Structures are given as C-alpha cells and as structure tokens.
Amino acid sequence: MALELSYVLITPYSLMKSRTGGIISRLLSRTGLELVGAQILAPTLEFSQRFASTISSQLDEKDPFAAKLFSDYIMENFLPLEDGSPVRVMLLVFRGEEACKKLSETVGGLLPNAKHRQAQDIIGETIRDTYADLVFNRDGSLNYFEPAVFTPSDKESSLAQLELIANFTEKSSNIVENSSNGKNGDKERTLVLIKPENWREPSTKPGSIIDMFSRTGLRIVGCKIHQMSIADALAFYAPVKENLRRELAPVIAEKAKKVLEESFGIILEEESCGILKETVGRPYADEEYKKIIAFMSGSRPDDVPEEDFPLPGKVKCMVLVYEGKEAIQKIRAMLGPTDPMKAPGGTIRREFGHDVMVNAAQSSDSEENFQRESNILEIGKNPLAGILREYLCKQ
C-alpha cells in the first residue's frame, strides 16, 4: 500500500493551554505514523479565508452543521489580533500507510447528531473527546466550540489542504515574531533538541517531554523536524570536544598509569601521566566525541567521506524554540543535569534519560550559544514545504 502524507493542525487555544504535548503523544503512539515535518505558523487573513473555504466546501454536503462550525471557528480564531499580533498554530505532517484514515480516527470527528450528544457518550478515546469542547445552550443554540485540532478525513481532502499549506509555508518564516506584546526581557529565546532516541519507534515520549516543558509557561515560537548532518553535529558539539579532552584525558591517563603499574609491578614517574594523557587520554576523549556525533547524526565521521558530511543524517530530532521571561534558565531547570542519575525528580532527564548521552533532550545554556546553535541548525529555515511539494508532485 502506498504511503500517504496527511497533517494535523493544533489550534491557537490548544497551544495556549499547553495541550500540545498530550496531543502529540496520542498522535504518535496511536497511529504508528512517522512525524516527518513540523512548523509553527502565523495564519494571515488570506490563508485563513482559503483554509476555511476549503474545509467548508469539503464538508458542506456531508455535514453542513460541521462545515459552518469549523469555518466560523477559523475566521474567528486564526486571524491576527486587533493590535496586529499574530496567533500561532502548530502544523504536524505525518507519513505512512492510510495516514489520512489513521489520523482522522485518532482525532475523532463531530457526529451528525452532535447537538444531542450526552456526557456519557464521551469516553476520552479520541483527541477531540479529551481536548475539544462543544457546548450548547438549553434552547439548542451553540454556546461554545473548540475543536482542539484540524485534520482531513480522506486523501482527497488532504491533497487539497496540503496544497494550500505548501503554498503558505513556502513563504513563511520558521520563527513567529511578535506573538506577545511583552517587554524585551520577556522575549528571551532558547533552543531545545528532542534527541534521536525518542524517535526510534512510535511512543508517547516526545509528547511527554514537550508536556513537561510546557510547565515553564513559555511559548513555542518555532519548530522543525531535523536530520542533523555530520557537519551540523561537528559544528554543534565542537565545544564538547575540548571539554571532553580537558575533563576525561587526565582521568583516563591516571587510570592507565594505575593499570600499567599493577600489571607490570612497576612505579611510573609522574611525568608519565603527561605522556599517557596524550597517547591514551586524548584518543579516549576523541572516541567519546565521535560517539556523540554518531548518536546525533546516525554515522561516525570516520566512516563517511568528508564530502558527504553536509548530507542529512540517518536519525532525526525535533528542534523547538521557546520564548519568554528567563527562557534559558526555566528550560534548563526543567531539563535537569546532563547525567540523569544526578537529576532531581520531576525533571525531564530524570524521567526519560539513561546516561549522559542518551538523556532525552538538551537546550542552550546561554544567549550566545542560542545564537550559535540556531545558526548551525538554520532555525529560520524549515524543509517542510519541500516535503509537501515533493509529495504533491507525485500524486
């Protein structure tokens, strides 16, 4: 069966209420689909009108009530605010067999008799059962509606909406600017990587990590799915190489000295540690560094021709940009120390980490490193539009 692409759009209210992680957990674990793209969008009037029109026209004959409900919601909630501030929606693109059907079933829909649904009919099985609201007054008129997410119900609808989304994302920045009217100090940014071990198989882990980060009260203003190349990894972790040499080489040299003395029954001069540091300690530190590069890119640098270093890696991570007051400190506090065994309870690395390398996620430790890391990963760019365009051209 051919692979399909389909999408889920998380609404502004769901983002604001920090429901993002829970929604992503459901989508990944229940569908078994691969998340191949993600982006924070700031819908314009034109995009909102076309999106509402597309959804309305595809639902009108099947369910006129839902068609008007969704269309009205989009035009009420997707437009920039009166002061010009954009609202944010999160776009998630999935790939797999029967992607449209699986996403639609996991999201759930509005039944034709939605007005007559009772509380006991809602069991929390679907995303909309859990996160959406459809409230009517006693006279049957609509009181309140929040759909939580949008997703197409079939491939035909998906193709039409993906075409619209591709056109919009091609012209959109990957970072949403001015999403808050706070002071400059409230707009500090930090970069987060949800690391490759979380994506090896469908699970709730990526969403659970995002859910924990949401406790900081910060806003997600940018994201993408990124396959870190060897070149990316070498540049990104360049400071780590010297740190490993400085911290590990003397320790390994001392251990090597002790082993030699015990094995051969000799006492080595102190200056031998300097020699062992260069001949044993540094190579050991460099090997640990190569393991980090391999973990983040999927390949060891000494196994790949140098001209292939810039090619996309074999594993993926999610890159997120958080914004808000004291963003760097808040994210790092929620993350916990590098070693999960030293991390306090309630931190991400304590909950999901295994060792100093397989430790769930990482983040910028300063504004300078945020800028450096953002430049290396080209956080202003997103490959999502290209993924959509390539798929659409084959249909």
pLDDT at 58 over 90: no
Judge if pTM exceeds 0.85.
yes
pLDDT above 90 covers a percentage of the chain that reads 71
- Specify whether the CB–CB gap between 111 and 117 falls below 8 A: yes
Calculate mean pLDDT across residues 264-293: 88
- Residue 394 neighbours by CB distance under 10 Å: 7
Per DSSP, the three-state class of 10 is strand
Q: Is 291 left (phi over 0), alpha (psi -120 to 50) or beta?
A: alpha
Q: How far is CA 175 from CA 57, 88, 172, 194, in A?
A: 31, 10, 9, 18
pLDDT score, position 123: 53
Comparison of pLDDT for 140 and 98, the residue scoring more:
98
Comparison of pLDDT for 179 and 126, the residue scoring more:
126
Comparison of pLDDT for 57 and 87, the residue scoring more:
87
pLDDT score, position 121: 53
Calculate mean pLDDT across residues 367-375: 97
Residue-wise pLDDT for 36-51, tens only, equals 999 999 999 999 999 9
pLDDT at 61 over 70: no
Residue 301 belongs to what H/E stretch?
A: none
pLDDT score, position 84: 86
Comparison of pLDDT for 181 and 190, the residue scoring more:
190
SS (H, E, C) 181-217: CCCHHHHCEEEEEECHHHHCCCCCHHHHHHHHHHHHC
pLDDT class for 120, splitting at 50, 70, 90?
Answer: very low
Q: Which residue has the tokens 């992607």?
A: 99
pLDDT at 117 over 90: no
Calculate mean pLDDT across residues 295-319: 96
pLDDT score, position 113: 42
pLDDT class for 183, splitting at 50, 70, 90?
Answer: low
- Specify whether the CB–CB gap between 202 and 96 falls below 8 A: no
Residue-wise pLDDT for 204-257, tens only, equals 999 999 999 999 999 999 999 999 999 999 999 999 998 888 888 888 888 888
pLDDT class for 143, splitting at 50, 70, 90?
Answer: confident
Q: Please report, in angstroms and rounded to a whole number, the separation of the first and last CA atoms in the chain.
A: 14
- In the chain, CATH 3.30.70.141 covers 3-174+380-393
Q: CA nearest 380: which of 212, 190, 174? A: 174
Gap between the Cα atoms of 151 and 120, Å rounded: 25
pLDDT at 170 over 70: yes
pLDDT score, position 56: 86
pLDDT score, position 271: 81
Question: Any idea which fold 3-174+380-393 has?
Answer: Alpha-Beta Plaits (3.30.70)
What is the average pLDDT value for the chain, to the nearest integer? 91
Per-residue b/e over 8-29, b at no fewer than 16 CB within 10 Å? bbbbbbbbeebbbbbbbbbbbb
Gap between the Cα atoms of 341 and 371, Å rounded: 29
pLDDT class for 110, splitting at 50, 70, 90?
Answer: low
- Specify whether the CB–CB gap between 161 and 53 falls below 8 A: no
